[in-house]
Amino acid sequence: MKKTLISLCALALGGMSLSACGGSEAADDGKITMGFAQVGAESGWRTANTTSIQDSAKEAGIDLKFSDAQQKQENQIKSIRSYIQQKVDVIAFSPVVETGWDAVLQEAKRAKIPVVLTDRAVDTEDTSLYVTFIGSDFVEEGEKAGQWLVDNAEASDVDKDGAINVVELQGTTGSAPAIDRKKGFEDVISSDSTIKITSSQTGDFTRDGGKQVMEAFLQSDPKIDVVYAHNDDMGLGAIEAIKAAGKKPGTDIKIITVDAVKDGMTALAAGEINFIVECSPLLGPQLMDVAEKVVAGEEVPERIVTEETTFTPEQAAEALPDRKY
């Protein structure tokens, strides 16, 4: 473990951004210790994200203490407290929900341990509680999904009666991607009065959750034209429910998802999903790079946005052979 003597400049310099300061003393054993509190293993995306973090830590020679919160905020808080007690050099985590982090982040700050957010943001007025946030722009992802629907609504003949009924499978309630992907999508589809979200419910980012919610939607609403799923796994669950109801996914009901993991891309290439907005889980290398800089007292940007694209069925077929996750 490095003997980190980072003086949280926000404390010393009265509100100055933590990312612009920091500084640590010479290493005890030269190795950085990172405590990482993961959300869980709810989706293909999350599994790929965990692998990326573990592999990158190994490659960078960072000693990684890893915990899986099983999608429960109280478990993440417990892990963070334990990392504080163990005096790790840096804490990183992907917050399961946006709110409720101030108390534990204050504890990390008092212990002079820098915190890096990855993948998901926290909702706090005190941005000195973390150094930087590495991850996607979820609002933009929702906008891209909405834009595809607006652009393709007519061409795809989504509904014969001129109304396009969308059901939404939301991610974990209160999580940044669920809030932002909903907002981005709604903002864009509001420009087209024929498109309406008729039902919206959480499937908790899991395949099983997506399947169960879709089964209930199909039973209560015979006129579903489009499924907007906040991730591939819920979209894949919805496909199972649609098939079981005797309909053809991608044809009778259009499907838009977010992530672009292998299973999602395979369904897209097969025409069972119509459009995927990419969300990259490969955040490990950037995280290790930032951790090294922060522990060395170097400046890092306050926000690092992941670069992403979108996929049509043709593009998915082309990309699949090289897809790593």
Stretch binding ligand AHR (CB under 6 A), from 6-14, 43-51, 262-270, 301-309: 43-51
Dihedral of the alpha carbons of 307, 311, 315, 317, in degrees to the nearest 10: 110
Kindly write down the DSSP assignment for every residue of 125-156, as one continuous string: S-GGG-SEEEE--HHHHHHHHHHHHHHHTTTT
Closest CA to 274 of 261, 247, 256, 259: 256
182 binds ligand AHR (CB under 6 A): no
* Backbone torsions φ then ψ of 162, nearest 5 degrees: 85, -10
**Burial of 110 (C-beta count, 10 Å sphere; 0-12/13-18/19+):** exposed
Compute the least distance from the CB of residue 3 to ligand AHR, in Å. Answer: 33
Beta bridge partners of 35: 65, 91
Nearer to ligand AHR among residue 108 and residue 258 (C-beta): 258
* 142 is an interface residue for ligand AHR by CB under 6 A: no
Nearer to ligand AHR, 45 or 325 (CB): 45
| Gap between the Cα atoms of 133 and 111, Å rounded | 20
Stretch that binds ligand AHR, among 40-48, 215-223, 246-254, 303-311 (CB under 6 A): 40-48
CB of 79 to ligand AHR, least distance (A): 17
Name which of 173, 151, 153 is nearest 163 in CA terms: 153
Shortest gap between Cβ of 70 and ligand AHR (angstroms)? 13
43 is a site residue for ligand AHR (CB under 6 A): yes
**How many binding residues for ligand AHR (CB under 6 A)?**
13
Rounded Cα–Cα distance for residues 270 and 227 (Å): 17
* Given 205, 217, 275, 325, the residue binding ligand AHR (CB under 6 A): 205
Query: By CB under 6 A, what part of segment 259-278 binds ligand AHR?
Result: 259
**Rounded least distance, CB 120 to ligand AHR, Å:** 5
Three-state DSSP class for residue 224:
coil
- Specify the residue, 158 or 316, whose C-beta has the smaller distance to ligand AHR: 316
Q: Applying CB under 6 A, which residues contact ligand AHR?
A: 42-43, 45-46, 119-120, 177, 205, 231, 233, 258-259, 279
